[in-house]
A and B are shown apart, each in its own frame.
Chain A
Amino acid sequence: MQNPYKPDLMEVIGVRQHTVDVKSVRLRFQDAERAKEFDFRVGQFGIFSAFGWGESTFNICSSSTWHDHIEFCFRKVGRVTDALWEAGEGDTLGFRGPYGNGYPMEQWRGKDLIFLGGGIAMPPIRCAIWYALENRADYGDITIVYGARAVGDLVYADELDQWAARPRVRVVRCVDPGGETPDWKGEIGFVPTVFERAQVAAGNAVALVIGPPIMIKNTIPVLERLGAKMSNVYTSLENRMKCGIGKCGRCNAGPVYVCKEGPVFTFENLRDMPMDY
């Protein structure tokens, strides 16, 4: 009997702590054969588990061009993530996936890329950034605007510096007013306003916008003013999920199963969908 709920066993081969409550974990398939055949698209997600505690849904935040491992990133907010927080090198975690549609990176070829993220939304953007950088010739100018409440809440801060050093990549960092430190060199303000001030040409761009609902709500009008087509503006929905395979009924947003038909949607798609996410 095929058991779609049974996970792959993964060895933890690296852990990075990004903020006081955010870590990312690097995993390798225990089964070498499975590791060889495994493939995914950036933007897809997995269901990760700590045995004895349960499962949680996260984006696979590594690039699909890296073949020897996958990574996921999480904030410590509850029972399962408390257990994942304790995982160290050599420990075993569970992984089911990849699930969902992922970003249409092939369709994005020839376009400028604008990545707009807030807070813990960097991981699902990061996979696409690395993918684009590893296929650099396929894409135009890359702009990354990333904000968090405070300097200490920026995740993958070290990679922001690496990306900024690449040709034709512009990185704009911001923190909410009051979240800056004395030596903060980035912008102060919210992502939508900081992005508008950055005056990025969006006419030939694909934008990926992920963050809290209020950030998304205020960023969309800015993109429209800058000339972006809503069919070229993407997000990844974060509806709660349990099964990931269109059975458990939890991720329904209006008429769609986010786990199967999403989590990646354009704002043109979302305009036709009821606000159920």
Chain B
Amino acid sequence: MSERISRDDLRKRAGEWIAAGKTVAGPVQVKPGMVLYAPLASPEALQLDGWIRPTNSIKEFVFPRHEALYAYRIDGAGITLDDLPAEMPEQIIIGAHPCDAAALPILDKLFNWDPRDDFFNRRREATTVITVACTAHDEQCFCTSVGLSPAAERGSDVLLVDAGDGDYEVRCLTEKGSALFGAAVDSVVHDDSSPAAAEIDAGPKRRFDPEAVAVFAKEHFEDPFWREHALGCVGCGACAYTCPVCHCFDIVDEGNPRGGERARNWDACQFALFTLHSSGHNPRPAQGARQRQRIYHKFFMYPEKFGETLCTGCGNCARNCPVGLGVLPLVSEICHAESV
């Protein structure tokens, strides 16, 4: 039998962790209709209910949108490089969804093929993820199409399952997770007979087969499909920025004539400049090629390289797209095109 914890007690724990100097983050209502994963100033800010998905994802706690890589000092012709502090405060993310938590082991693969990227790893190691199983989904959710589910455990240290009376069932999945709750790593195999299972969302119906998408992306590289379906794309990059697994970045110098920092900032394959050569040649000269890249990378290239679909089915890309594009709308069209 797993432990239980009430929402109030969870907030109390969060308060203790904050008081102990840990960074505690979770869903916060930042304005009407918008919930974001953000550091909690106080446990009262933790918004555990009343939303389907925050607008952002938890990736920014392991791969920040801006991260200094080292500092440089300029003194005449001489340059000095300084490492920046490598110590990471322990951080706890409360209220992630399974589609957020699963992103972390997927990103581990990229950041650890030769050479290792310890900027990512050090944050990852300092992070404990307390996931809340989903109790609802919307029309953009499709976790079940990419091998996940509303109570998937992948990437989580603790899974909290709504037990129906204001309590969560606490399933500690890793040592890191049990250290937080003082409970043993849960060895119970959960199935439908679990008392909390009734509250778990049934999940979106399985809408597509990712392998069929991979085949389409590979075999229809030059297809007019991409141009036609990208006509509405304004190239804003919101899909990539709110995606739990999109990880492209730029490297820039930020400073003044005496010194500064070399930093990496999030970037997105939807931007025209992303692939522009200095000669003026652009391998992806129009939005169709850029939309294709997003699907191709997620469903064909990343699985080829790392054995993982680069998508957790969270639906953020479509929810945040100003023109109704995103993975699910595009993939639905692909499946439609393929079945005609």
Whether the pair B117, A276 counts as a contact (CB closer than 8 A) is no
Query: Is B148 interfacial (CB-CB < 8 Å)?
Result: no
Whether the pair A243, B251 counts as a contact (CB closer than 8 A) is yes
Whether the pair B283, A276 counts as a contact (CB closer than 8 A) is yes
**Known pairs A249-B247, A254-B221; A4 contacts B115 (CB<8 A):** yes
Query: Is B275 interfacial (CB-CB < 8 Å)?
Result: yes
Whether the pair A54, B253 counts as a contact (CB closer than 8 A) is yes
Query: Is B250 interfacial (CB-CB < 8 Å)?
Result: yes
Query: How far does the alpha carbon of A165 sit from the alpha carbon of B74 in the complex, in Å?
Result: 45
Among A250, A274, A275, the residue within 8 A (CB) of B267 is A250
**Known pairs A240-B276, A245-B115; A1 contacts B251 (CB<8 A):** no
Q: Which chain B residues in 66-94 approach chain A with CB under 8 Å?
A: 69-70, 72, 74, 77-79, 81, 83, 86
Query: How far does the alpha carbon of A4 sit from the alpha carbon of B113 in the complex, in Å?
Result: 12
Query: Is A75 interfacial (CB-CB < 8 Å)?
Result: yes
Whether the pair A1, B277 counts as a contact (CB closer than 8 A) is no
Q: Which of B138-146, B155-163, B254-262, B332-340 contacts A (4 or more CB under 8 A)?
A: B254-262
Q: Which chain A residues in 39-84 approach chain B with CB under 8 Å?
A: 49, 51-55, 75, 77-78, 81
- Provide the residues of chain B in CB contact with A2, threshold 8 Å: 115-116, 118
- CB of B254, distance to nearest CB on chain A (Å): 9
Question: What are 30 inter-chain pairs, A to B, with CB distance below 8 A?
Answer: A1-B83, A1-B86, A1-B118, A1-B122, A4-B117, A5-B69, A5-B119, A5-B262, A7-B81, A51-B74, A52-B72, A52-B74, A52-B255, A52-B259, A54-B251, A78-B278, A92-B77, A92-B78, A120-B279, A212-B281, A239-B275, A239-B283, A242-B249, A242-B250, A242-B267, A248-B251, A248-B267, A249-B269, A249-B297, A252-B301
A binding-site residues for B, Cβ under 8 Å:
1-7, 9, 49, 51-55, 75, 77-78, 81, 90-92, 94, 120, 212-213, 238-240, 242-243, 245-250, 252-255, 257, 274-277
Known: A5-B262, A255-B305. 20 other contacts (CB 8 A): A4-B116, A6-B81, A9-B79, A51-B74, A52-B256, A90-B77, A92-B78, A238-B279, A239-B275, A242-B250, A248-B248, A248-B251, A248-B264, A249-B269, A252-B301, A253-B283, A255-B301, A275-B222, A276-B283, A276-B293
